[in-house]
Structure formats: C-alpha cells, structure tokens
A and B are shown apart, each in its own frame.
Chain A
Amino acid sequence: MTTSLLDIRNLSVELAHAAPLKVLDGINLHLAPGEILGVVGESGAGKSVTGAAVMRLMTRPLRQSGGEIWFDGTRIDTLPEAQMQRLRGKDIAMIFQDPLTALNPVFTVGQQLIQTIRQHLPLDQAAARARAADLLREVGIPSAEERLENYPHEFSGGMRQRVVIALALAGEPRLIIADEPTTALDVSIQAQIIALLVELTRSRGMSVVLITHDMGVIAEACDRVAVLYAGRLAEVGPVRDVLTAPHHPYTRGLIAAIPRIGARLKELPQIPGTMPRVDALPPGCAFAARCPFVMEHCKTHRPDATPRPDGVQVACWLEEGQ
C-alpha cells in the first residue's frame, strides 16, 4: 500500500534462547496519515514489543528475526543506527506509560524541552524557548511561560503526562507511538489526556499507534484496532466493526468479559484458561486451547489473517469455512 505512513510487514521478534522463542510472529499492520491505530491485548501479548520494534528500542535478548518496517516509503528496520537516531524523536516520537520516569528529575521542564527542540530543529536558544512555551500551551498547560522553570515533580500526574506529550511533539513528528499513555492516570484525567491526543492528531495531521489494554480507550480514541494474542494478530479492522461485531472468538470473549455499566449481569462471561506462554505455543492456532469453537484443524494448522469483504482481517479458521 503506497498511502501508508507506517507499514509493518510480516514482523517477527525473537527472544534469543537455546531454542529461540517467538515473541511476535508475522505481524502485518499499516497506518494511514492522520489515523489512530489501537493495539490491544493482554499482558505479554506483544503490544509493547511491537512499539519498541518500530522505534528499534529493543535490547538483547530481543531481536527482530524477520519482516520489514517501512516508514513513509523508506525501509527503516535496516537503517544504520545513526540515521535511525535522527528519525527517532523527530519523525517518530514515543510516549511512555509512566511520565515520572520519562522525564529527567534534575532538569527543569523548560531545559528538557529546549534541548529536545534544538536537537531536532535549527533554532537558537531564544526561539527554542518560545517554541517550548508554545508547545506547553498547545497541550493545555496553564501559565506555560512560568511553568518552563518548574521541575517534573512540581507537576501533577496529568500535567506531567501533558509535558511528556509536549516533549514528543518537539520534533514535529508525523507518527507518535503511545504505549499505555493513560494507564497510570485517574479516570477523569485519563479522559482529558485521550481527548488531547485525539485533538492533536486531528490538528497536526499526525498518526498515532495507541497501545493499551483498555478497550474503552480504544473505542473512544481509535479509528482502527488490532487485537494481539500470544504475539500474533487475531483481528484487525475499523473500531466500530471490531467492537460491535467481533469475529475472532478471542475478541468476542475479551469484549464480553468487560463489565458494562447498567448491564446487571449475574456472572461475567469469562474465557477459560490463560494465554499460552511464549515457550509453550501450540503448533496450530494459539487460541485453540481456550476456544469454544475449536476444530481438529485448528490444533495443527495456524490460521493467517484473512481479509473479509468488510475490510476486517481475522486470523481464524472459522472465517475460512474450514
């Protein structure tokens, strides 16, 4: 697809081990300019590794073992480290879960912003400072000018995450990878940060990969959603389709298990069992052992994500009429 800003093709990531373990296995994802793609899954499904692979922030024993990552028509997974470093923080920025560890506690917010801006843009100190204040205003921090002099600990959790977002915007990125950006925040603050991210995406025409375990956040913020299970893609498609009429039995189970206000269920539908560990993946479909519709074929043959007529891709043998 030529219109994609980010194109992940058949990406695999291994955990170096006596017998290498597949942490990500054949992931295909693409992201159009101005689009917000949600990546959702349980702990250990490979959400964060997907983000880290795009940024090439993986450290040993993790390594990319196959596939290609294309950004704006350039293959970036083979770029020399020096070039990748120029891209990182400039064209592709990242927002992490915990704003307290993402900021350096011994420098003021202004120092960190100005340094990042000058790293990426040809501006002098004064111009960078003005730019820094603009960014803080853009992310909704009151009295931006004075706040530049404050240290991270002088901000509340929500304001701190706004600073982190301002920092991510410093290089005028076209793609932001946000890894659980609201998980550490309170509900009312979480809503503010999600609304801010959506608004920035629209006003700047950026794309966002939003990694989260919260389906509610996906519903409110994303255009499309990818559901990961045990390092494999279970289902990907427009949010409305996937959430209202999920096709993969895992997606169905996951959505049913979320309590809803006013549902008054006596018991929540639960998926029996747990996600297989990375060192105990079955030869067939990774979900086979927990699937209520499992067939013999599922236990031995791995389904690939197949596009349906409505644009949703589902990796399930039920879809193929096997």
Chain B
Amino acid sequence: MTATTTPAHPPAQSLVRVDKLSRRFDVSPPWITRTLYRQPRRVVRALDEVSFAIQPKRTLGLVGESGCGKSTLARCLAGLMSPSGGTMRYAGKRMDLAAHNDATVRRAVQMVFQDPYASLNPRWSVEESVGDPLRAFDLAKDRKEMRDMVAELMVEVGLSPRDAQKYPHQFSGGQRQRIAVARALASRPEFLICDEPTSALDVSVQAAVLNLMRRLQEEYGLTYLFISHNLTVVDHMSDDVGVMYLGRLVELQPTEALFDAPRHPYTQLLIQTVPSLDTIGRASAPLKGEVPSPLNPPSGCAFNPRCPFANNRCRVERPEATALPGGGMVACHAVEEGRI
C-alpha cells in the first residue's frame, strides 16, 4: 500500500493534497565539457515522489536536514517553482503553475520565508510591502482603505499602525518577521507555507512569533505547512509531522505518535540528537556518518549507510511507504519486516 493519503483522515476533507510530487534539477556541466570529457548529464532529485495531505485548519510540520528537499517542496507549493512530476491539489483543484495564475489560488496560498532581512524590500516602506498584496488582488477600493487595512494588520501582528511608515532596517529581526507575517496575511489566505520562520530569531523572540502564528491560526482558521530543522519547534506547532531524508518522505505520523514512538531509524536518530535541557552533562553518543550528497545518493534506501538495521535488501531495494495502524506512514524495510 502506498501512502498517497494519510489514512487517518479521509482524503475528501483535505485542503492540500500532494501526490508523488517530484522535482529534479539538471546540474550537468555545460554541453561543451560533457562532449569534450564525455561526461554524462547529472540530475539531482531534490524531491522524490512525496505524498501527503493536510486537513483544513491543521498544521503539518516537516523536518529534515539541509538538502532534504524541505524548501523545494515549499517553493513548489507556493508556485515559485514548477514540479517535474506528480500532482498538487488545493481544495480538490489541480494546482500547478497555470493554476497559480488563477488569482483565487494565489490569494489563498501565501508564504513566510526564513530570513526577514532578505524577504522584505529594503527600499519599500512597510506600508508598501504589506499593502502590495492588497493592491495586487484589488482588495482595497482606494488608498485610504488600503492604509486602514495595513494599520489593522500591523495591530494584528503586534506592531503599531505608525510603524507602517517606517522602513525594514528600522526594525529588529523579530519585528521584521511580524511584518512578513502581516504581508502574508494581507490577502486573507487560507493556507500559509512557513519555511523556517523562526530559525533566524533568538529564543525569546521565537516564542513570541510562534505564539502569534498560533493565535492567527485560530483566529482566521488558517492551515499551515510548517517547515523547520528544529524538532522542538515542529513538535510545538504541528498536528502531524513528516520527516524527510534526501528528497523522500520517510515517516509521517500524528505529532504525539511520532515523538513518543518514532518508527523510522532516521527519525529515532533525529529525536535522540536534539540538544535538550533535560540531558544535562550528557553529550549524546551520536550516530556516525553524514547526510550523503544528493548528487550521488546511495542505492536502495538512502539512509542505509548510516542505519544500524540495514541489511542487503535495504542496500538495493528502495523502501515504499507502509501505512501505520495509528494513521500515517513509514518507508522502511526493517519496520515492514518487523525487524524493529
């Protein structure tokens, strides 16, 4: 059985549904080099047949290390990049670059980026940045109404309406991220893609931004895709959590199940190595090995070189998703065979 659905939730209810989504990047050397030195084309599979569904008003967290395809997935969903294969559906409708030209989908799907220093135009006042979606979707009938709406959004994210006249450099990192959230909210979206929204922030500021995002979710009934490399943050924010490794989704479970009883050996490793306040004086004996290069992924299961449970089958055959009894999936031969 494949995990084209999250079995716990009937697919009809999902707001966002992704089926076997893939994205390949051609990283070949220039053709002249290839011809002269007889080098082959090279392709990176940044995203490899990833499937999941998100129910309305819920949060799907995605964790994984650099290069695992988290951000590629976010960009495909936000319509900033076209997938090479598979389908994305939003409220049952096909969503691809063409659909992103459809203003209703574009308005409904917004994104908050990691670096608030890079995601705001430094030469635009906050009012211009936050007001831009209002203008683009004709949500304000005149300039005065736009100003009022921007002022309202500023208050909503915990800033003062007067701040709208200022420029990004006049704000701290946390305040800038609030502005980025205000801009994402301006078009009254239903689905917010958050790519490492607090990774650039200090813990005390992070707490405030996470609380804000939670409150807004309740207030506006938002659905989140919450991407982070920080497991504690994902645990705090998500209803379900997916774990990615080298472009594949290796495990997807309801948050509590995933953290209480992780099934995939990689998930177990990740949870073990989270630096935690409860492990005082015990630098955890970490698993050896590193994330392999996506340019040259191992055959079979991509995790096999680091996996303590790997056998011959794992080295040649790629594991497919197995549905878990409590809902969710895991892609691991060892789990499927009952070895772990």
Chain A residues close to B by CB (< 8 Å): 42-43, 156-159, 186-192, 194-195, 198, 213-217, 219-221, 223, 239-240, 243-244, 253-255, 257-271, 274
Check if B339 is an interface residue, CB within 8 A of chain A. no
Report whether B202 and A270 are in contact in the complex, using a CB–CB cutoff of 8 Å.
no
The interface residues of chain A lying within 8 Å CB-to-CB of B173 are 43
Interface presence of B273 (CB below 8 A): yes
Residues of A contacting B279 with CB < 8 Å?
219-220
Given A194-B275, A262-B260: A187 and B207 interface contact (C-beta under 8 Å) = no
B207 and A269 contacting across the interface, CB-CB below 8 Å: yes
- Residue from A219, A265, A271 whose CB has the most chain B CB atoms within 10 Å: A219
Q: Is B119 an interface residue, CB under 8 A from the partner?
A: no
**Min CB distance, B259 to chain A, in Å?**
5
In the complex, the answer to whether A260 meets B277 with C-beta atoms within 8 Å is yes
What are 19 of the A-B contact pairs (CB < 8 Å)? A42-B205, A43-B173, A156-B291, A186-B66, A187-B65, A188-B273, A189-B65, A191-B283, A192-B286, A194-B275, A195-B283, A195-B284, A220-B282, A240-B281, A257-B204, A260-B277, A261-B274, A263-B235, A274-B205
Stretch at the interface among B80-88, B107-115, B147-155, B226-234: B226-234
CB within 8 Å of A: which residues of B? 65-66, 172-174, 202-208, 210-211, 214, 229-233, 235-236, 256, 259-260, 269-271, 273-288, 290-291, 293
> Which residues of B lie under 8 Å from residue A157 when comparing CB positions?
66
Chain B nearest CB, measured from A265 CB (Å): 7
Set of chain B residues within 8 Å of A216, measured between Cβ atoms: 274-277
In whole angstroms, what is the CA distance A156 to B256 when docked?
33
Q: Given A255-B277, A262-B260, A189 and B283 touching (CB < 8 A)?
A: no
Closest to A42 in B: B202
| B63, closest chain A residue (CB) | A187
Complex interface: chain A residues within 8 A of B231 (CB): 187, 261
Complex Cα gap A264–B269 (Å): 21
The docked-state distance in angstroms from the alpha carbon of A260 to that of B276 is: 8
- Given A220-B283, A240-B281, A253-B204, A262–B259 Cβ distance below 8 Å? yes
Q: Give A191 Cβ to nearest chain B Cβ, in Å.
A: 4
Contact for B275 among A219, A264, A269, CB less than 8 A: A219
* Distance A41 CA – B270 CA, assembled complex (angstroms): 25
Pick from A243, A260, A267, A270: contact of B232, CB under 8 Å: A260
User: CB-CB < 8 A to B256: which residues of A?
Assistant: 262, 264
Residue of A nearest to B68 (CB): A186
- CB contacts (< 8 Å) of B269 on chain A: these are 188
Instruction: Tell me the minimal C-beta distance from A282 to chain B in angstroms.
Output: 18
Chain B residue numbers with a CB within 8 Å of A189 are: 65, 290-291
**Complex: A140 Cα to B183 Cα, angstroms:** 47
Measured CB to CB, the nearest residue on chain B to A262 is B259
> How near does chain A come to B168, taking the closest CB pair, in angstroms?
16
- Which of A156, A220, A221, A274 meets B290, CB within 8 Å? A156
Of the candidates B210, B214, B232, B283, the one having the most CB atoms from chain A within 10 angstroms of its own CB is: B283
Contact B202 A43, beta carbon cutoff 8 Å: yes
A43 cross-chain contacts in B, Cβ below 8 A = 173, 202
Which B residues touch A269, using CB under 8 A? Answer: 207
Decide: B202 and A213 in contact? CB cutoff 8 A. yes
Q: How far is the CB of A221 from chain B (nearest CB, A)?
A: 6
**Would you call B286 and A195 a contact (CB within 8 A)?**
yes
For the complex, what is the distance from the CA of A138 to the CA of B206, rounded to whole Å?
Answer: 37
> In chain B, what residue has the closest Cβ to A220?
B283
Instruction: In the A-B complex, list the 6 residue pairs whose CB atoms are closest, starting with the nearest.
Output: A216-B275, A257-B207, A191-B273, A186-B65, A259-B236, A191-B286
**A262 and B203 within 8 A (CB):** no
Which of B229, B277, B285, B290 touches A159 (beta carbons < 8 Å)?
B290
- Measured CA separation A195–B271 after assembly (Å): 16
Report which of B65, B211, B236 forms a contact with A188, defined as CB distance below 8 A: B65
**A261 and B281: CB pair below 8 A?**
no
A195 to B232, CA, bound (A): 20
A219: chain B residues within 8 A (beta carbon) = 275-281
